[in-house]
Structure 1
Amino acid sequence: MTKIEVNGALLAYDEVGDGSPVILLHAGIADRRMWREQVGALATRHRVIALDLRGYGESELPPTAFAHHDDVAGLLDALGLTRAALVGCSFGGAVAIDTALAHPDRVSALALFGSAVSGHEWSDETNDLWENLVGDVDPEDFAATAAAEVRFWVVGPERTPQEVDAELVAFATAMDERALAAELALSAVDVAELDPPAIGRLAELTMPVLVTAGAADVPDIRHLADRIAAEAPRAQRLPDTPDAAHLLPLEHPTPTNTALQTFLP
């Protein structure tokens, strides 16, 4: 693990390999450890940088205003990189998209797994799924909230916990408990959003885009993958991966790595 100053904050990252640069951006329920199966696989051809976004994992959170997408561009500056391919999952996918819109000359390609999109409002269907599956949870109880989020996102509404690898569930729960503490701290800081948000600007993503999702993920995420693929001019939509939910790269690394090795420049 290395730390580097970016826009006034020390950000933590792992770096391995040589070649064209690739930055891995984690889900909001996780940290850079979710890419444990991708780092080595991609390092045979790429300079791979797995980043903890500001406030998450081992990255710092100074009490100053910032934007995650500006941090990604700042990381490129700090590392002396002109451009990089961005690989994102969930919230990390949203950050990758926002970076590509705010700093289009810095992003050579986007690979999106179960990506969120800034400005998207969750559907009534997804809200009802949450209510039916986990119901009310005390947000101050990190253990209970993490268990609920992992049940909803990592297991998924179409599977039972018994159908999912127990080690995956335990690892995701540990990451999410840490991420929830990060999000509580982030709520006290002015985090700037992309304006206007990405949901109405997907046609501006002119770089190559790879997009996919887990077949067991919530419907909104799969619909967003369809929308990104339909609106981004150079997007490639891979079929949803069977028996996979929101942390697709962690749950099914082999098809993820194959897709990335084929797609990344």
Structure 2
Amino acid sequence: MTLSHDVAGADDAPAVVLLHSGVCDRRMWDAQWTDLADAGYRPVRCDFRGFGRSPVPDRPYSNADDVLELLDTLGIERAALVASSSGGRVALEIAARRPERVSALALLCSALPGHEVSAELREIGAREDGLLEAGDVAGAVELMVDTWVGPEGGPDVREAVRGMQRRAFDVQLAALEEFEPIRAEFDLAAVTAPCLAVSGAHDVADFREIAAALPGLLADARHVELPWAGHLPSLERPSAVTELLVGFLRGTVPAADR
């Protein structure tokens, strides 16, 4: 199955693949979309299975393999990966398993394979599960919005996240059968791409700790903490994140002037 996706920019421009968080879908990159193309890149954004316009899985699946299949379909041999939250786990798997396919990594409040989840994060997950089991989907949506949208996220941002999370819940809860993603074994030491690890000062501690730890786990990584950000900085202050991303990409995957 080819993931639902969008492509912009020139075919010969360096590809930048945008991977969404677990509370959003590919629409979370609306603010970066045109600017990346204008900066000389070829942005590609997709919906993981069960999010946005991609259907729920009908068998065990791998998000990383789905993204690699999409790149093959589009004829993209090598790409920079820009990923948010759980999308960061997918990006790291691709970069470790297929390092020759990844030119750079920009990880925004990324998850990390093997991370030991804190009591705070377990409690949030338990509250979410309890609300969904009780049939209170709206309540679960509001919990996710309150948890993951930082103080810079105004009413429009909260409404956007609310809509994307509600879509994901509705699609996934309607599935006749639930399939878990396939967890592949891989070694982060195999990652060769330069990495920008971004954290938000107002985010849950797990994600701040992961971003701070990545320079010690990857061959070429640096950590930047945004003092104003929560968990979704690309939505909370879009122009600041676009500037940060374009600056990083220009230093690692230069694009021709257009």
Whether TM exceeds 0.5 here: the answer is yes
Structure 2 residue 215 is matched with structure 1 residue 223: no
Relative to the length of structure 2, the TM-score reads 0.87
- In structure 2, distance between residues paired with 1:253 and 1:57: 20
Structure 2 residue 65 is matched with structure 1 residue 79: no
The offset of 1:125, in angstroms, is: 4.2
- In structure 2, distance between residues paired with 1:191 and 1:224: 22
Structure 2 residue 183 is matched with structure 1 residue 189: no
- In structure 1, distance between residues paired with 2:194 and 2:94: 14
Question: Where do residues 155-234 of structure 1 align in structure 2 (5 Å cutoff)?
Answer: 155=150, 164-184=153-173, 185=175, 188-196=178-186, 201-234=187-220
Q: Give the alignment partner of residue 143 of structure 2, picking from 134, 142, 148.
A: 148
Runs of 4+ in 1 over 4 A off after TM superposition: 133-136
Q: Which sections of structure 2, spanning at least 5 residues, go unmatched?
A: 254-258
The offset of 1:241, in angstroms, is: 1.5
Distance 1:194 1:183, change over 3 A: farther
SS in 2 for 1:43: helix
- In structure 1, distance between residues paired with 2:87 and 2:223: 18
- In structure 2, distance between residues paired with 1:100 and 1:246: 22
Contact 1:67 1:193 in 2 (8 A): yes
Match of 1:4 in 2: none
SS in 2 for 1:100: helix
Distance 1:191 1:134, change over 3 A: closer
Relative to the length of structure 1, the TM-score reads 0.85
SS in 1 for 2:54: coil
The offset of 1:249, in angstroms, is: 0.6
Match of 1:66 in 2: 61
Q: Which sections of structure 1, spanning at least 5 residues, go unmatched?
A: 1-8
Distance 1:135 1:105, change over 3 A: closer
- In structure 2, distance between residues paired with 1:207 and 1:219: 26
- In structure 2, distance between residues paired with 1:58 and 1:213: 28
The offset of 1:135, in angstroms, is: 10
Residues 54-87 of structure 1, C-alpha deviations (whole Å, 9 max, x = no match): 2211113351222000011111110111111111
- In structure 2, distance between residues paired with 1:166 and 1:187: 35
- In structure 1, distance between residues paired with 2:51 and 2:132: 21
Identical columns (%): 38
Q: Which amino acid aligns with 1:228?
A: L
- In structure 1, distance between residues paired with 2:132 and 2:59: 28
Match of 1:260 in 2: 245
SS in 2 for 1:109: strand
Distance 1:190 1:215, change over 3 A: closer
Residues 114-156 of structure 1, C-alpha deviations (whole Å, 9 max, x = no match): 001122231124445x49x98953443221111011111114x
The offset of 1:104, in angstroms, is: 1.6
Structure 2 residue 34 is matched with structure 1 residue 40: yes
CA RMSD of aligned residues (A): 2.3
Residues 162-215 of structure 1, C-alpha deviations (whole Å, 9 max, x = no match): x7411111111111111223444497124211225xxxx333322111110111
- In structure 2, distance between residues paired with 1:229 and 1:39: 28
Q: Give the alignment partner of residue 117 of structure 1, picking from 91, 105, 112.
A: 112
Contact 1:142 1:180 in 2 (8 A): yes
